[in-house]
Amino acid sequence: MIERVKRCDPDSVADLLDAPLLDAPLLDAPPESDPAAGFDETPKTIGRFQIVRELGRGGYGVVFLAVDPELDREVALKVPRPEAVLSADLRTRFLREGKAVASLNHANIIPVFEVGRVGALCYIASAYCDGISLAQWLRERGPAQPTQAARLVEVLAEAVQHAHGRGVVHRDLKPSNVLLDFRFSMDDVRLQTMSPFGSTSSGNAAIENQESTIDHAMPMITDFGLAKTAIHADQTRTGSILGTPSYMAPEQAAGRLSEVGPAADIYALGAILYELLTGQPPFRKESDLATLRAVEAEEPPPPRRRRPETPRDLEAICLKCLEKAPGQRYRTATELAADLQRFRGGQPVQARRIGTLERLDRWRRANPTLAALSGSVVVLLMTIAVGAPLASWSLQRRSADLEASLERTKAAERNERQAALAAQRSLYDALRAQMRAVSAAGMPGQRLHRLNAAVQQAACWACWSSDPRRNSPSAMTPSRPSRPSTPTSSGPGRSRLGPRSPSTPS
């Protein structure tokens, strides 16, 4: 039996999930469409759908351009890989979540017409948009103008809010899942009351403006293959990693799927805005594993670092979407759309610019070991910077004190030497005076007294001449002792005393 769900518009997702599946006759698929074959060759039919060609394939499945003969229209038929719906539980979950996505009815969301399965083969039939993806447009044209980027993400945010309001989280928003329909512009109000789909023509003639600016295209969100409904969120296994690494939220990259909610889609919108502004996603490493680690631990480089002309307010909006903690992002996609509208209108935005201190604090939390090491180095350098001058000043002060003490010691020594020399000079002068007095007295034994005074004077001279302090410039140099003069007798019978030779007895 083939289980098929026709697209409807229930009041709520709960009503749709409780609705019974419609039965239809089983259509035998040809051998080429066997799920085990892995679609190495394009099948001719899948159920009642006639396959025209393959449109593309990704990590989750393959997308074919097919024709629905019952309604005579072209559809995009997405078939998940066999391992994605290997068990009965996975197939049931795929169909249930597909029904929830089919409830979405928004001008900027590719509508899902049908969700069903043929045996073990499941499929999603959605409207076919004959346009290019935003990823292809970025590869060919490069970054968009800031106002154009803000307008496009604003439109996408409104569409995402429509899905969130019905309990559907996309979980895989990225430029390749945004199609650009150049038959309509973002300001085409007719899309609010009519759907651009339903035509059986391929639409190639309608894309004459494909080379114009992005303002002349209508962005359409597609590929809800990884969508999660709020009602059955508890069935997601923790530890699985679903999505595209460069556009995953940190909680999604870490495999904490129980924490993945609307904030993950807001993060992805910020990543799309980042790429529209700079031409590259926030994180793109040499491998998916390295990218996942960067998403979890590293802060995204500010867009102005890669494109300096980016307005600061728009950069603040983008970085607020890319916050690591879900609670620090915009609470709803509507708040994001409103802030982008304020930016385009020249009004102050709610997003706050990140200061240098906050950046340092985030880097510290993301790299605790390196931050601790850097902090130690900074403290050491500050200690050296402050302590070195203090130590130098202390050494200079001690050196000055030592020099002053040495000068005082030298001065005291000089004063002591001068006092000692002055005392010796006084003694020398006293002995000379004594010797002269003895010579002039003429008393008996004067020769003996004079000789004794001469001996003492000579001893004082020898003491002074042997003192090393005698070379002091302040020392008073006494005169060398002279031979005592021989007094002459003035009376009769006295002879003049002359010098005696050393051999003359006294």
369: exposed, middle or buried (C-beta count within 10 Å: 0-12, 13-18, 19+)? exposed
3-state SS track over 47-59: CCEEEEEEEEECC
- What is the DSSP secondary structure assignment for residue 437, as one 8-state letter? H
Nearest to 236 by CA among 322, 166, 171: 171
CA 234/CA 400 separation, integer angstroms: 80
What SS3 class is residue 266?
helix
What SS3 class is residue 119?
coil
What is the full DSSP assignment across 185-217?
A: -TT-GGGGTS-S----S--GGG-TTTTS-GGGS
Q: How many Å is the maximal CA-CA distance in the chain?
A: 184
3-state SS track over 7-18: CCCCCCHHHHHH
CA 400/CA 294 separation, integer angstroms: 59
Nearest to 221 by CA among 296, 159, 147, 283: 159
Q: Which residues contact 444 (CB under 8 A, 6 or more apart)?
A: none
Nearest to 77 by CA among 229, 222, 228: 222
Of 172, 181, 265, 313, the catalytic one is 172
Catalytic: 172?
A: yes
CA angle, corner 127, sides to 123 and 131, nearest 5?
120
Nearest to 8 by CA among 113, 80, 110: 113
What SS3 class is residue 127?
strand
Instruction: Write out the catalytic residue numbers.
Output: 172
